[in-house]
Structure 1
Amino acid sequence: PAEGPAGTASGESAAALLSQGLRLLSVEDNPFGRVVLNTILTELGHHAEFVGQGEAAPDRLAQGAFDAVLMDMVLPGIGGIEAIKRIRALPPPYGRIVIVGISGRAEDEAAARAAGADGFLVKPVSPRALATALHEATRRAATAT
């Protein structure tokens, strides 16, 4: 089948993916941050799996069927920028998955986008901002395929 908007092989439109809920890989080392993100994502109808280190993201991504990645920029070990670069180096469809960077520092946005992030959010993340970022990133990915 044709590759979908977020790197899946489903061929579904961005609107269809968002309406049924995205499968998200969230790279977040802070337990409180995980609870907040998981609460917001669940309320938005999405399903998240969490890993706590940037090194784990490419391997976990290649093992599961995910529609997008939420990438914290400040992580133990390799940071979010390097993790994004490693994901982008994966073969298709994994390397083309939608990635939204998240940081408490707005100045991280340029580096995140330069590394390959499709979107960027500044903490604290609101439900509306997260929903908008996921919608915009998956819509752009759908029109790029």
Structure 2
Amino acid sequence: TVFTLNVVLAPADGPVGVLSDDRAAKAAQGLRLLSVEDNPFGRVVLNTILTELGHHAEFVGRGEAAPERLGQGTFDAVLMDMVLPGIGGVEAIKCIRALPPPHGRIAIVGISGRAEDEAAARAAGADGFLIKPVSPRALATALLEACRRAAAAT
């Protein structure tokens, strides 16, 4: 049996909890995200979800490009695919965490189709983790929580 549930949600009228930092507060509005995703289909799916949530994403396809791109722009969070050509997501997260503040303390959410990647992502410094396929609600929640964690760490 397959059940399908479609829910249409309206934005909240007021604040949705106590937010400790501007980055966390922006999670309720619109974030500028760096998404490290090598799969073109994955990029389309993520971009569609992020656009619906009111966020703006820039994509890079290789883990080693992430730290360099962070240094060239202003981003609020990183979505890191864990399986990438070149260096993988774990190593890319470690490279980002080695950057000087504020770049090294940016919120990072690891994303993978394998649940077993979560422990390694978190050990490397990810603030959150999602398993593919990613739902809009799970992504919104993970971004909010990751931004709160990153804000509390600074």
| TM-score normalised by length of structure 1 | 0.89
- How far 1:18 sits from its partner (Å)? 1.8
Structure 2 stretches of 5 or more lacking a match?
A: 1-18
The corresponding residue for 1:8 is none
Q: Residues 57-68 of structure 1 correspond to what in structure 2 (within 5 A)?
A: 57-68=66-77
What percentage of residue pairs aligned between the two structures are identical? 86
Structure with greater proportional helix content: 1
- Pairwise CA distance, 1:13: 5.4
**Candidates 29, 46, 60, aligned match of 2:55:** 46
Letter matched to residue 44 of structure 1: L
The residue aligned with 2:87 is 78
Contact 2:23 2:76 in 1 (8 A): no
- 2 CA distance for matches of 1:84 and 1:140? 16
Identify unmatched segments of 5+ residues in structure 1.
6-10
State how far apart, in whole Å, the 2-side matches of 1:61 and 1:116 are: 16
Distance 1:27 1:125 in 2: 15
Deviations 1:3-45 (A, max 9, x none): xx9xxxxx62512x12330000000000000000000000000
Given that 2:109 and 2:142 are in contact with CA atoms closer than 8 Å, whether structure 1 keeps it comes out as: yes
Q: State whether structure 2 residue 153 is matched by structure 1 residue 144.
A: yes
Instruction: Label 1:135 to 1:67 Cα distance change in 2 as closer, same or farther (>3 A).
Output: same
Give matches, 1:96-107, under 5 Å. 96-107=105-116
Instruction: Using the TM superposition, give the Cα deviation of residue 143 of structure 1 relative to its aligned residue in structure 2, in angstroms.
Output: 2.8
Q: State how 1:10-29 maps to structure 2 within 5 Å.
A: 12=22, 14-15=24-25, 17-29=26-38
- CA RMSD between the two structures: 1.3
SS where residue 86 of structure 2 aligns?
Answer: coil
Bigger Rg, which one: 2
State the one-letter code of the partner of 2:53. L
1:60-109 deviations in whole A, cap 9, x for unaligned?
Answer: 01100000000000000000000000000001110000000000000000
